[in-house]
A and B are shown apart, each in its own frame.
Chain A
């Protein structure tokens, strides 16, 4: 999301851990956000233990039931499958894919950014040109083309999303590294004879980590939406696997007759992303006090 590129907290050496516990209580927004995210994640985790209907069992005679009808708490979809059950099981799928994709993009993009920012010069130039090429390609189309090329399925959707997001992480990390690179403690480490790798890992990375944490938190929401988007276009989860995107796509045909089939997974996505954004926002405030008065 564009906002992230513009307003990240300045990376610094200031210790962060000590004050955050106190701030948690100060901040209602953070608490709500954390609560929302934890609730959804928890529900997703314990879904197998809950007394839910099997999410894949079809009952064509009771398709498109409304909420509360025919014993379905949230209604049923076009094959008569329980929406509540598919929602919770779908949460597991959607969240996992987003997390893993974020991880992959982070590692891959982050490494590129780290190297480009730290070494500069030709390395920087070449790497950033490659990233430019990746960015000039309309990102959604790249994801779709990749999935069409690799075949549909969650794994490939995951790869596509990760690849597409690498450029954001690369640029973000690079920008952060550029700021840090010339700071005194780096010069000091060099003067003391530390090797590049060591500097990278022990000095640069920890300084860059906090703003990156904010970045990742805010980005995961976007990834969840992108995963849903790919499934929405039909290139994500395979039947009968439920994920929020396919549920949204399936529901689209029934908007006239049964809008709840699409509305409910959409609300779920909204809630989770909202929670994540609240957490990310608050983290950002906490990490960079100079921004604090600007946002709240």
Chain B
């Protein structure tokens, strides 16, 4: 790439002109280290590289995607991660089990009730600890509320990335009610730090219940409203239907999970595939779509919100009395062992693999974030599409960079 490179002329796309190579800053200043990198950074005639990000509104965080384009068409792309890397796994190994809860909180910052559950559930499994049933029900209640808040925001985001400004306001109204509700319960609006090893921090209180009651009264109606706003909007439908189609084999091979996997027709939901907590006692369906495109993923989120409302309804009716915290020592030393747990977060299977060596610190705390695996599909499905469509497809995968970069 030394010196000059040939690109299509802006005046006449059939003509190639020489340009100074200085515009190709996306090319790394070192020789390619892998086969794939050599292939990607070797430009053919008419191809050029541009950086999407690191600070681009549609990347939902700090993600850089190097696009290899020919005119308006994407030839290939290479996501560059690590801008938000904090080394949470290493930090967890250097604090005790209780610290790990608040360290894992900001991983999935839109639905942190799920990421903070990671060290909690792993430690409980290592301890063989039985959690009071009331605590389990409160957890499910908090999880499902947080899932709805996350999905409501998703519906706003995807419209925002397609140029529609209104739905995000509705999404935030919905989310704000839930977040205020959870703030009454946990004291925090964003990073709740509510789950504890052995239960939850504090029982349901009056303010939470009264807010929840108000919200349950109109939750179903809100979904109808958002649905009327977007589902048949012509621009929205044309920019999502048939775009970013993922087939079943690709989705399974790429270790995808959550709505992007279920939108291809595979009913893999950890709540049913490998039940945890009190989900076996609750009745709900796993919504599945067959098309596998952006529109199917969007519709799936709507269906999941309805199922979550249904779950919350049951939880409120079945909520048992009793303590919300097990009797555990303050200093926790699980015996040496290994534990793998997975839960269904709004983005897919959130898993952790924890090892204990008998001390009060985790020996190893692997965190598996679903967005990390879902994001890989971009390089499979985007080539051949327009640059403008990359936003529509990426936001339909709903990645959260806090979890991807850990």
* A, B in one complex: no
Instruction: Please give the residue numbers on chain A whose beta carbons come within 8 Å of chain B beta carbons, in ascending order.
Output: none
Residues of B within 8 A of A (CB): none
